[in-house]
Structure 1
Amino acid sequence: MTPPGGPRARLRRLPVVARLVLAVAVTMSLVLTGAAGLVYWRVRTALDQQLNDDLTTYRHSLDQAVRAEEELPPGPSGSLRQILDAHGRVLRSSDALPRRALLTPAELDAVTRGATVRRDVGSLLPITSGTLRLQAGRVSAGGRTSIVVAAVRRGHRDEALRELLAQLALASALTLIAASYVGYRTARAALRPVERYRGGAATLAEGAQNLRLDVPVDRDDEITRLGHTLNHMLDRLQASAERERRFVADASHELRTPLSLLRAELDVALHRPRSTGELTDTLRSVDTEVQRLIDLSNALLDLEELGGTAHVTRTRVRLADLVDGAVAPHRRTAERSARRLTVEVADVDVEVDTRWLPPAIGNLVDNALRHGRGTVRVTAAVRRHRLRLCVTDEGPGFPPEFLPRAFDRFTRAEASRTGEGSGLGLAFVRGVAAAHGGTAHAENTPHGGAVGLDVPC
């Protein structure tokens, strides 16, 4: 488990640019190390192969000379030789070699048993003198056993490899520096718009209004799409803020009217003694305004509860029963107004929320009875698993300028705010439709206004 202040935590605290450059540097280091290792291995293999071929050829010529008891032949440049007896005593040796056996006791024993020994003397790094590569084998001649040791100097091979290592290290270092610089410049350039967006967001947090990020229109990369998304979010936030301000203003206006009327009725009643009849009229007026306040509060609470509902609870119900139950409370109102109220519903079952949909239908019918004229028709049908319900009347319809905001809160078609209704009925209808994953619509027809729902069922 990494401690809170460990390397991983410190790495996360670095700026994004620093982390990107570090990632590029580490990745390039691994790539360059792998590439350099491959090149070094290929060159060393080629040099070793050539060295081994020369060494093997030279040893074979020495073996033939020992068997024929001839003069030892000269070898390639830098070659050395040593002839030992079975006990490891030096019989013949190159002048440049010391008068002691090049083989260890273990190697001497292995060669005596018939094995071929190959070994390097000295190391590539650190630099040492007298580096050799030797090969030893057993030779039998004239009834006695000799051990032939052939060796070649590795100086040129080691020098070439050290030069190669130096060049690879230099080239890798320069490439790593160049890659890190390019990565830094690229990361800075890529994140510059993000820093600009951050500055814009900081300005917005300080209270700036109507702020929009400067997003290039000739690009379509991730950063540009982020800018468009942020601008879209700012548009939504501004629209939401405007709706909230309008909501507060409209709600204040709607509440102020009944409260002012209540205060006026009470002031008049308390101004001088009143008769029982006058007090009764005052109480009835107060009761009307109190009921208006209750209806307004209930409508606001329903809207807030509906807006905070994560999902609707669908129940299978007969469509005709659902619509008839929603319309029934309004039939007496239609009769008192000498208006017809007709229902045309398909005989099918639907799966909807039986808590929210009936009051939404009731709001549509109430709206048609209150603001429309003539016959009110309620039609409902199911097509392709979608419930399409529509309420129409024979009135003048909606003013054209009202239709785009018909479902906004506290919006009424009347020019005055003193008309009946709170302006929340259609807003509630749209909320119910949205909770079901559907839509609400309002339009004018040749015969009057039409408002409806289209929800999956």
Structure 2
Amino acid sequence: MTLPGRPRAWFRRLPVVTRLVLAVAITMSLVLAGAAGLVYWRVKTALDQQLNDDLSTYQHSLDQAVRRGEDLPPGPSGSLQQVLDAHGRILRSSDALRHRLLLTSAELGAVTGGATIRRDVGSLLPITADTLRLQARRVTAGGQTRIVIAAVRRGHRDEALRELLAQLALASGLTLIAASYVGYRTARAALRPVERYRSGAATLADGTQHLRLDVPGDRDDEITRLGHTLNHMLARLEAAAERERRFVADASHELRTPLTLIRAELDVALHRPRSAGELTDTLRSMDTEVQRLIDLSNALLALEELGSTDHLTRAPVSLADLVDAALAPHQRTAERAARDLTTEAAEVTVHVDTRWLRPAIGNLVDNALRHGHGSVRLTATVHDGRLRLCVTDEGSGFPPEFLPRAFDRFARAEASRTSEGSGLGLAFVQAVATAHGGTAHAANTGHGTAITLDLPC
């Protein structure tokens, strides 16, 4: 049903339940009106057919009597008769009619010309007295033209139709009320979870933490799926808020130290006159801290981007080429430190995101070169659709109490390692592994440290 502009805008402003009930009521009204109209038409057609049959039979008997010059026979109960000449004068008539002519001048002319007239006298509604159905036909009797009019009363037929109309109106009204009530209750029941979800969202807007909507677990309808979607959205929002909180907390915690050192260097440099050499040393110290700030910012931004990325861009790449590209920047560092850096990579193709996996491998190698000792070895194998990357060194290993938090942000094994670095390298490695749907594991081998990545490829 198409509504004009203004009613449509008014309709859209109504509450959803009201709109649903109105839609049900309007639709049911149309259906009931159509059904009632069909029933009324069928019953009326049957009653009219019966009435017309009686009228035609009576008309035939009157025609025969007029042709033979006999007395007019009686018809059905309450029937009327009238015989006119060609000029409309009444020759014979029922006592109930007296001298009332049943035909108009136009109808008289049409019948005289040979037409058959059939029409109703009186209306169904409002109720009127002497409701008739008449039929007029021209008859030739003894060489003269006669107009024979037969009429039967419609009282029983009209009463039956009025009773039918009343019953249809009552039944349709009750059905419409029941349908509207059922529609209202159904709409309220269907939208009750939506209202509950709205209240929950309002509670979240008020600052409530760890909020989840109460979604039934034994249903799979549209409203239930909406609830699951909202819960997923709430989880994502909570995770995003937690990432933001952690990012701010980590950044403020780690940026404080280099910024404090830079400020201290500047204060000392400005406190008294300094020689060119002292100023150069101060600038070099500040440059080191600035580079540390840059590295820290880049690491934090990379972790944040990994944490908020839904899908990695996997592409086929040669595993050997990937390992060589990741180790190339560290070969000179290993040579300067007189340490062996060896690789063993299978000649296979893997489907990974090289944008993230290459720096993760580089972080592992850099971590081993910076904090470990002896030879550094990288092995890369593929088995049952999983890529296994392992970097080992020959250092003293992690303290046992440090292993459970080795991949935490800013975690440092102070007992066995220097404070050099930001403490975000292994956190980045684990984030890359998690984004690929894999895991990262650190362990002491007895001859050093082994850090392993296990990823689907």
Taking a change above 3 Å as real, the CA distance of residues 39 and 287 of structure 1, as seen in their structure-2 partners, is same
Cα deviation code 1:345-397 (max 9, x no counterpart): 5376x89877666445433543454456643325377998xx95735325758
Structure 1 counterpart of 2:204: 204
For 1:415 and 1:113, how far apart are their aligned partners in 2?
125
The CA distance in 2 between the partners of 1:433 and 1:111, in whole Å, is 102
In the alignment of these two chains, the number of paired residues is: 445
- Deviation of 1:46 after TM superposition, in Å, equals 2.1
Range 355-364 or range 22-31, more displaced: 355-364
User: How far off its partner does 1:138 sit?
Assistant: 3.0
**In structure 1, what is the Cα distance between the partners aligned to 2:187 and 2:134?**
55
3-state SS in 1 of match to 2:404:
coil
Within a 5 Å distance, the mapping from 1:28-427 to structure 2 comes to: 28-97=28-97, 99-216=99-216, 219-269=219-269, 278-301=278-301, 321=321, 323-335=323-335, 336=337, 338-344=339-345, 346=347, 358-370=358-370, 374-377=375-378, 379=380, 388=387, 390-394=389-393, 401-402=404-405, 406=407, 410-412=409-411, 414=413, 419-425=419-425
Counterpart residue number, 2:452: 450
Shift of 1:401: 3.1
Change (3 A) 1:114 1:411: farther
Query: Is 1:331–1:341's contact at 8 Å kept on the other side of the alignment?
Result: no
- Cα drift, residue 118 of structure 1: 1.9
Structure 2 counterpart of 1:256, one-letter code: R
In 1, the alpha carbon distance for the partners of 2:313 and 2:210 equals 40
Which amino acid in the other structure matches residue 442 of structure 1? A
Partner SS for 1:233: helix
Q: Which stretch shifts more, 6-15 or 197-206? A: 197-206
Change (3 A) 1:337 1:280: farther
How much has 1:76 moved relative to structure 2? 0.6
Once the two structures are TM-superposed, the CA of residue 332 in structure 1 deviates from its matched residue by 1.6
**Match of 1:375, as an amino acid?**
V
SS in 2 for 1:401: helix
AA in 1 matched with 2:151: A
1:17-28, aligned counterparts within 5 Å?
17-28=17-28
The answer (yes or no) to whether the contact 1:82–1:92 under 8 Å persists in 2 is: yes
Instruction: Return 5+ residue gaps in structure 1 as ranges.
Output: none
Instruction: Give the Å deviation of 1:114.
Output: 4.0
CA deviations on 1:40-92 (whole Å, 9 max, x unpaired) are 22221222122112112111211222222221111111211122333433322
Q: Distance in 2 between matches of 1:411 and 1:363?
A: 14
CA distance in 1 between counterparts of 2:359 and 2:42 reads 83
Query: Contact 2:371/2:418 (CA < 8 Å) preserved in 1?
Result: no
**C-alpha distance 236-414 of structure 1, shift in aligned 2 (>3 A):** farther
1 CA distance for matches of 2:278 and 2:236?
53
Question: Kindly tell me: are residues 422 and 95 of structure 1, through their superposed partners in 2, closer, same or farther at Cα, counting changes over 3 Å?
Answer: farther
Matched, 1:12 2:15: no
TM-score by length of 1: 0.81
Distance change >3 Å, CA 402–CA 311, structure 1 → 2: closer
Residues 239-267 of structure 1 show CA distances to partners (whole Å, capped at 9, x for unaligned) of 33222212211111111121122233444
- Give the distance between the partners of 1:413 and 1:117, measured in 2 at CA: 112
Q: Quote the Cα distance in structure 2 between the aligned partners of 1:28 and 1:279.
A: 91
Query: What is the SS of the residue equivalent to 1:136?
Result: strand
The one-letter code of the counterpart of 1:165 is L
In the alignment, residue 94 of structure 2 is paired with which amino acid? S
Q: Is the Cα contact below 8 Å between 2:368 and 2:376 reproduced in 1?
A: no
**Would the aligned equivalents of 1:389 and 1:452 in 2 still touch at CA under 8 Å?**
yes
Paired amino acid for 2:439: H
Q: 1:2 to 1:367 in 2, by over 3 A?
A: farther
Q: CA, structure 1 residues 351+452, in 2 after alignment: closer, same or farther (shift >3 Å)?
A: closer
Amino acid at match of 2:345: E
Q: Secondary structure at the match of 1:253?
A: helix
What letter is aligned with 2:181? Y
Cα distance change of structure 1 residues 14 and 423 upon mapping to structure 2, 3 Å threshold = farther
Aligned to 2:439: 441
- Residues 347, 183 of structure 1: alpha-carbon distance in 2 compared, 3 angstrom cutoff: closer
In 1, Cα distance between the equivalents of 2:105 and 2:369? 118
Contact 1:433 1:454 survives alignment (8 Å): no
Between the aligned partners of 1:433 and 1:135, the Cα distance in structure 2 is: 98
Q: Deviations over 1:77-128 (max 9, x none)?
A: 1211122333433322212225354334444444445443321122212222
Letter in 2 for 1:51: L
Partner letter of residue 451 of structure 2?
Answer: G
- Secondary structure of residue in 1 paired with 2:119: strand
Distance of 1:439 and 1:329 partners within structure 2? 27
Cα-to-partner distance string for 1:283-330 (whole Å, 9 max, x where unaligned): 333221111112222334556677889998899977655543332111
Residue 393 of structure 1 aligns to which amino acid in structure 2? Answer: T
Q: Comparing 221-230 with 243-252, which one deviates more in the overlay?
A: 221-230
Determine if contact 1:123/1:131 at 8 Å carries over to the other structure: yes
Distance, in Å, in 2 between the alignment partners of 1:131 and 1:234 is 75
Q: Distance in 1 between matches of 2:427 and 2:51?
A: 92
